[in-house]
């Protein structure tokens, strides 16, 4: 199973919006609405930010939103803040009943 494709890095100024893409295939991202997104700060465990494409767990800021079109899912961070600087990973359930993570995206707040 190949990793889902994400841009290596995305940057933005405070207050701006950024979008991170996550591209897979019809056997994973395109085939199921089981895409989730994780934020990971250096040296810390990942934290769930979005599940089932566009749902936010309790406690996650509404500045984070998710969507999907075909084989590509997206995470949008609105009103970018310094604390959003972190690595972000998507993941998807697959037709083999396994899971696959994305390659990861480093978000930099300028």
Partner 1 sequence: EVQLVESGGGLVQPGGSLRLSCVASGFTFSSYWLHWVRQAPGKGLVWVTRINGDGGSTSADAVKGRFTISRDNAKNTLYLQMNSLRAEDTAVYYCARTGLSVASLDYWGQGTLVTVSS
- Using the CB atoms, write b or e for 28-63: b if 16+ within 10 Å: bbbebeebbbbbeeeeeebeebbbebbebeeebeee
Stretch that binds partner 1, among 16-24, 67-75, 76-84, 95-103 (CB under 8 A): 95-103
Q: Does 26 bind partner 1 (CB under 8 A)?
A: no
The Cα–Cα gap between 107 and 32 comes to 26
104 binds partner 1 (CB under 8 A): yes
Binding site for partner 1 (CB under 8 A): 1, 3, 32, 34-36, 38, 40, 45-48, 51-52, 55, 57, 87, 89, 91-93, 96-104
């Amino acid at each position: 199973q190949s990793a889902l494709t994400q841009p290596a890095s995305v940057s933005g100024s405070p207050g701006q919006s950024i979008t991170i893409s996550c591209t897979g295939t019809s056997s994973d991202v395109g085939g199921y609405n089981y895409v989730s997104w994780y934020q990971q700060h250096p040296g810390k465990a990942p934290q769930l930010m979005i599940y089932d494409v566009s749902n936010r767990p309790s406690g996650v800021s509404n500045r984070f939103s998710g969507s999907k079109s075909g084989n590509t899912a997206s995470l949008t961070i609105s009103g970018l803040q310094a604390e959003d600087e972190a690595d972000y990973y998507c993941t998807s359930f697959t037709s083999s009943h396994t899971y696959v993570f994305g390659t990861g995206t480093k978000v930099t707040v300028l």
